[in-house]
Structure 1
Amino acid sequence: MTYLQASKYLESFINYEKIHSYRYKDQLGLKRIKGFLRLLGNPQKGIRFIHVAGTKGKGSTCAFIAYILKASGFKVGLYTSPHLADFRERIRIMPGKRQDEFEGMISRSQLKRTLKKLKPFIEEYNRSSLYGRLTLFEVYTALAIAYFREKKVDFAVLETGLGGRLDATNAVSALVSVITPISYEHTDKLGKSLKKIAFEKAGIIKGREKAVISAPQGKEVIGVIRKRCSGLGVKFLSPNKYQKLKIKLCGAHQLINANVAKMAILALRACGIYIPDSCINKGLFSAVWPGRCEVLGKQPQIIIDGAQNVSSARAIKRAVKDRFRYKKLILVLGISKDKDIKGVCSQLHSLADKVILTKADSPRGLNPEILAKFFKNKESYIAPRVNEAKALSMRLAGKDDLILVTGSLFVVGEYKYGRAKFN
């Protein structure tokens, strides 16, 4: 199997990340992934997992946790989604060789070798399954777990893909489960209320954890999480104040993520795993997470951030106002169809002097013409493709201006890396 053949094989599976409309509770669930893992011999057993769900800050929190564990001398598997430029970014083992900003990203040879081993089991499962064919996310999740087991990681940090209760990553049992800030997202699938969304996210809590860590939440959300923990007899922890931790990631919201990550690491002490404060501090400071309030250049300043919901848009707006100085702000914005379009636009509207509306090369990308109605009183432009938006932003920006690229990780990935690397 060549790498091209491996890529084509993966592309043959249904990818719900590219589908806007589907029946969430009918199409997703744990029966397929659990059955497939059993067929593989349950490679998840024997791996110590830290499982992270939430609306915003999941990836950053996973990164903070992974870098702390790495600084403590552990071999750490990291599984996150979505990716910025290359699907392989989702599977990493640290410490590892640096490949762009993605340390320890699974190599092409390792990916094709692992997939080649799994392929006979995939075909066998799909022939006999009573629950339908495996999805791409299920295959890739199983591949990551099998790869982590083969490489004998000490810990694996998993980020949920969608929700939590029915997410493929929920087939594992975690030492510690983490809930990052919860707000409205995927309301067509997770539910129209915060309580329903919190119920789906809190579904990663299974009663076998040593502790559940939650970021501070609204009253109705925290009530759902506490009830779940109480019913299962799991210890619940949440920081009641934030320490001033030294981190490179910018924005007050990243300080929240760092504090939650630190509390998750401290919870490991209940398992007899003592990680000294010096390693915690070193890991937090060394953590990088591309595409999140990331500075690409100066004169003009270019900031990229994958904010895709109202709370994340509010956070990047605050970070830009608090941290950066500029003459005019050129907003490059592209949003996916299933997001709170009006809410995101309303958060960013006052920030922008000029607006470039665009669309990622994804079926879920929203037509930029629809976005235009939210910026009628702004100097605005339509760029059908992100590379056109990038060229236009550089023409419009003076050396004292700031370009903010946001609304979608797909847009951010294309703006930074270009379409050629985006796969």
Structure 2
Amino acid sequence: MTYPEAIQYLESFINYEKIPFWPYKQSLKLERIKDFLASINNPQAGLRYIHVAGTKGKGSTCAFLAYILREAGYKTGLYTSPHLSDFRERIRILHPRSKTLDPKPDFEGMISEADLIGLIKRLKPAIDKYNQGSKYGALSFFEVYTALAYVYFKEEKVDFAVLETGLGGRLDATNVVEPLTCVITPISYEHTDKLGGTLKEIAMEKAGIIKRHNVITSQRHKLVVISAPQEEEGRSVIRERCKSTNAKLFEVGKDITYKNKGRTFEVSGISGKYRDFKIKLLGEHQKINATSAVAAIEALMMNGINIRAKHIKNGFYNTIWPGRCEIVSKNPFVVLDGAQNVASARRLKETIKENFRYKRMILILGVSKDKDIKGICNELYEISDEVILTKASNPRAADLQTLAGYFNGKPQHLTKNIQEAKNKGFDLAKSEDLILVCGSLFVVGEYRNDKVRS
């Protein structure tokens, strides 16, 4: 099997990331992934997990956690989605390093082509056999890829695995593990056609990763849950879920806080104060994500895991997470951000205002049709001087005329693909301007890599 053949095989499964509207509860069945994993001897069992769900900041929080664990000397698996340009970004292992300041690639430790081919070759007979006789229906792309991650992490004997949910949490293929700690990042309106039209309904899906531990040998082995600041509806759901599952809850903003100190910030944690933190990821929201990560690390420390303040500090400073307010060029500034819902667009707008000085803002925007297009465009309208509308090579991409209607009064340019939008942006921009590329990780991925997203 060649690498293109391996990718072709993965793409043969139904991929809900490329379908705008589909029946969530009828399509996702946790029994299916559990049943399949049982047929291959439950590779997910026996590993130590941190499980992260939420609407905003999941990936950044996962990255912070993985880099901290690596700094502490632990071989750490990292499973995130979606990818920017290469399927292999989703499955990574961060190995302990002797020189923490060595230059690092953007997606350090991602699974090699050879290892991915090997996994698929070995699991293909089991996958095909299962799909032929499954009473729960055929496995999806995300379920297959998640199973590959479990097998890879098990075979590579990682010390910890950090898992990001794909969609929701309750029915997600990652929700078959018994984690040491769960993190719920800020919850806002997203995928309302699938998760529900209220924050309460959405929070119930996200909080589905909070589960009663099967075996509790002592108080310190109780599941610890970390919640980022939430709206009241979401906060109430998380509190009730923790109560019903006998989980211990710590809340950022209440039990754990942070304070800016010039160019650094400090965190008052569950069991101590941590000073002089620096992160490379821009935006106040990233400090909230970092604070959630500190609390999760402290939860591990409660379970006897050896992690020190210097590991957290170095982990934060070394964390790289592309596509999140990422500066890829200067003169003019080019900033890439995967903001794809209203809350993220608002947060991006605030981050741009706080961190950049420029003459004109040229917005390159592409959005998926199942998002709150009006809300996203309204947030970005204020900071945009000229708008280039585009679409990624994904069936979920919104129609350009639909986007154009929300930018009346602004100079507009409609482009048929990301490369055309990129060229147009540089044609329009002067050295003192800023080009902002956002609206979708699919758009950011294609722009960033000068090629169609694989």
Give TM-score, length-normalised by structure 2: 0.91
Deviation of 1:246 after TM superposition, in Å, equals 1.2
Deviation of 1:100 after TM superposition, in Å, equals 4.2
Aligned to 1:105: 110
**Pair 1:315-2:320 in alignment:** no
**Paired AA for residue 206 in structure 1:** K
Q: Aligned to 2:258, what secondary structure does the other structure show?
A: coil
Q: Give distance in 2, aligned partners of 1:43 and 1:7.
A: 22
Aligned to 1:122: 127
2:250 pairs with one of 229, 234, 237: 237
Matches within 5 A, 1:46-57: 46-57=46-57
Instruction: Identify, as 1 or 2, the structure richer in helix.
Output: 1
Contact 1:210/1:271, CA 8 A, preserved across alignment = no
Matches within 5 A, 1:22-421: 22-95=22-95, 100-208=105-213, 210-240=223-253, 241-243=257-259, 244=265, 245-420=277-452
Q: Give distance in 2, aligned partners of 1:69 and 1:105.
A: 16
**Paired AA for residue 134 in structure 2:** S
The verdict on how the C-alpha distance between 1:99 and 1:246 changes in structure 2, with shifts beyond 3 A counting, is closer
Contact 1:358/1:385, CA 8 A, preserved across alignment = yes
Q: Give distance in 1, aligned partners of 2:104 and 2:115.
A: 14
Q: Give distance in 1, aligned partners of 2:104 and 2:349.
A: 30
Q: Aligned to 1:225, what secondary structure does the other structure show?
A: helix
Q: Give distance in 1, aligned partners of 2:188 and 2:376.
A: 13
Contact 2:29/2:136, CA 8 A, preserved across alignment = no
Deviation of 1:210 after TM superposition, in Å, equals 2.5
Runs (5+) with no aligned partner, structure 1: none
Deviation of 1:127 after TM superposition, in Å, equals 1.9
Q: Give distance in 2, aligned partners of 1:270 and 1:278.
A: 17
**Paired AA for residue 235 in structure 1:** K
Task: State the Cα deviation string for residues 75-102 of structure 1 (Å, max 9, x = none).
Answer: 0000000010001100000028988410
Deviation of 1:7 after TM superposition, in Å, equals 1.2
The verdict on how the C-alpha distance between 1:96 and 1:20 changes in structure 2, with shifts beyond 3 A counting, is farther
Deviation of 1:324 after TM superposition, in Å, equals 0.4
Aligned length: 422
Contact 1:14/1:135, CA 8 A, preserved across alignment = yes
Q: Give distance in 1, aligned partners of 2:412 and 2:26.
A: 41
Contact 1:96/1:103, CA 8 A, preserved across alignment = no
Q: Give distance in 1, aligned partners of 2:40 and 2:170.
A: 22
Q: Give distance in 2, aligned partners of 1:183 and 1:62.
A: 18
**Paired AA for residue 422 in structure 2:** K
Contact 1:95/1:103, CA 8 A, preserved across alignment = no
**Paired AA for residue 123 in structure 1:** D
**Paired AA for residue 205 in structure 1:** I
Q: Give distance in 2, aligned partners of 1:8 and 1:323.
A: 42
Task: State the Cα deviation string for residues 161-210 of structure 1 (Å, max 9, x = none).
Answer: 00000011101111101100000000000000000000000000012252
Deviation of 1:239 after TM superposition, in Å, equals 2.0
Contact 1:96/1:104, CA 8 A, preserved across alignment = no
Deviation of 1:419 after TM superposition, in Å, equals 2.2
Q: Give distance in 1, aligned partners of 2:131 and 2:376.
A: 40
Task: State the Cα deviation string for residues 237-258 of structure 1 (Å, max 9, x = none).
Answer: 0122224131110000101000
Give TM-score, length-normalised by structure 1: 0.98
Q: Aligned to 1:177, what secondary structure does the other structure show?
A: strand
Deviation of 1:4 after TM superposition, in Å, equals 1.9
Q: Give distance in 2, aligned partners of 1:215 and 1:271.
A: 21
Q: Give distance in 2, aligned partners of 1:100 and 1:356.
A: 30
Q: Give distance in 2, aligned partners of 1:272 and 1:362.
A: 45
Runs (5+) with no aligned partner, structure 2: 98-102, 214-221, 260-264, 266-276
Q: Give distance in 2, aligned partners of 1:72 and 1:33.
A: 32
**Paired AA for residue 270 in structure 1:** M
**Paired AA for residue 117 in structure 1:** R
Contact 1:246/1:281, CA 8 A, preserved across alignment = yes
Out of 46-55 and 242-251, give the one that drifted further.
Answer: 242-251
**Paired AA for residue 84 in structure 1:** L
**Paired AA for residue 300 in structure 2:** L
Identity %: 58
**Paired AA for residue 152 in structure 1:** K
Q: Aligned to 2:364, what secondary structure does the other structure show?
A: strand
Q: Give distance in 1, aligned partners of 2:289 and 2:377.
A: 24
Contact 1:54/1:181, CA 8 A, preserved across alignment = yes
**Pair 1:17-2:17 in alignment:** yes
Contact 2:181/2:224, CA 8 A, preserved across alignment = yes
Q: Give distance in 1, aligned partners of 2:427 and 2:95.
A: 40
**Paired AA for residue 380 in structure 1:** Q
Q: Give distance in 1, aligned partners of 2:24 and 2:110.
A: 30
Deviation of 1:418 after TM superposition, in Å, equals 2.0
Contact 2:70/2:96, CA 8 A, preserved across alignment = no
Deviation of 1:20 after TM superposition, in Å, equals 1.1
Deviation of 1:8 after TM superposition, in Å, equals 1.3
Q: Give distance in 1, aligned partners of 2:19 and 2:352.
A: 32
Q: Give distance in 2, aligned partners of 1:273 and 1:153.
A: 15
**Paired AA for residue 228 in structure 2:** A
The verdict on how the C-alpha distance between 1:372 and 1:309 changes in structure 2, with shifts beyond 3 A counting, is same
Q: Aligned to 2:175, what secondary structure does the other structure show?
A: helix
